[in-house]
Structures are given as C-alpha cells and as structure tokens.
Amino acid sequence: MRLDIYQVDAFAKELFEGNPAAVCPLEEWLPDEQMQQIAMENNLSETAFFVQTDNGFHLRWFTPTTEVDLCGHATLATAHVIFEHLNYPENEIHFNSRSGELIVKKEQGRLKMNFPAAKVKEAQLPDFLEKAIGVSCQELYRDTDLLYVVESEQQVRDLNPDIRLLAKADVRGVIVTALGNEVDFVSRFFAPNAGVDEDPVTGSAHTMLIPYWSEKLGKKELIARQISQRGGTVYCTYLGERVQLAGEACTFLEGKVQL
C-alpha cells in the first residue's frame, strides 16, 4: 500500500519556521495502531490523517506516542494540503473531530481556523511546578493544559525547564506566557506527557491564551508570537464561545508512505 504524505510548516510565512506537521489523506481509516506507527516514524510533533465525508472531512491527530483531541497547527497544515494540493473548490472546510466541528476559511492569503474556546479556570499551583519551570508564577489557570503566566517576555525566552519534573503535571502540557514587547502576548508550550518536550507553535494552546489575554488586555483582536526556537505568529480573534486563529503555511515535502 502506498499513501500520499505531505510535510507542511504551519504558522509560517516561509520554510523552516513555524511548526512542521505531516498530513496523510486517506480513502478510509487505517487501524489506529498503524496510524500511531506512522506518526512515530515521522517523529514530528503531530501527524494528521483525514477522510472525506459527505459534508466535509473527518480529521484525527497523532503525536509520536498518542492520539490527541485537538491540534491547531496540524489542522492548519491539513487545510493547506486540501486547498493547495487537492484543489478543493470551496473557500471553507468543515472538519469533524474529537473536539467537535472545526472550520477553516481561506481568506486574504491566510487560513482562519474557528475553534471552541477553552474554559479557563484558576488553578492551585502544584508544589513542584515553579521548580520545574524555573520562573515565579504570577497566575495559573487550568483546562486541558496549564496556563502559567510570568512577568516578562524575556523570562519566557530564557526558559530552560526541567522536562522530567514537568512531566509530573497531570495535564497534556504547560503553556508559559507573558505580555509581549512587540506583539500582544508571547508563549512557549511544553508537553512531555504527549511525547513533545517543546512544541514550536501550538494552535490548540491559543484556545486558552486568547480568552485570557483578550480579557486581560480588553481587546478582541490580538497578535501572538510563540517564541520557540523556530517561532511562529498567530493572528487571534476572541469570539466568546469560540476563538479564531489565523496563519500561513508552506509545503516542505511531498512523498509516499510505503506500507
């Protein structure tokens, strides 16, 4: 069996920035174990698989070690493949996923993703977490991830967390964020429990970041930068129950998987 595969840099204006994701179009689902093996072999933070349905596409995401409920950058990469390589004739894609309906629009050179907003709730600080992060916590919130607010952008840039200790957190990952110097806010994302020590640009983390910073800054339209080594820019809109994330993508590789 030979499967098409694409590698796409998501939230990137040009190659070698943003977050790389693999995308595999399927005519029908492979066994879960086989999709997990493909993701492990790709060794990227996410591999997306999708199947076309009567009213859109069914989309799933795998890290090298597990299937996840939501992945923003791999959704962006998948929409890029459908629009640019599969010649999808519409300007809006509807995905069915474990996180419900996800909508991606192609507009003015960017892909705009509409996701459910996270329910951001204050959390108590676990006794190990400040030691793991290495920077004092100003505020802490919880949903699928922990949102760890620090004092400055420079602190976020300089982070060198203890990944093994960070894995004690009983969540998917930890988002560390601060007010930005040249953008509205910056962040980094660490998810050792999902097999990703640091993710370059994390769309799903912004479902927590956008409600928090929108309320904090008193504005609905925000520009964010995830300041990992690769880095990426996310254009954000807070819509109340949902959030919109916009970005660009570039194809790095087209190939075949031989099974």
**How far lies 127's CA from each of 122, 132, 153, 155, in Å?**
16, 10, 24, 20
Is residue 46 annotated as a catalytic residue, yes or no? yes
Q: Point out the catalytic residue in the list 17, 27, 46, 182.
A: 46
DSSP letters spanning 61-100? EE-SS-EES--HHHHHHHHHHHHHTS---SSEEEEEETTE
Render the burial of 6-28: b for 16+ CB within 10 Å, e for the rest: bbbbbbbeeeebbbbbbbbbeee
Residue matched to tokens 């676990």: 126
Would you name the residues annotated as active-site residues? Answer: 46
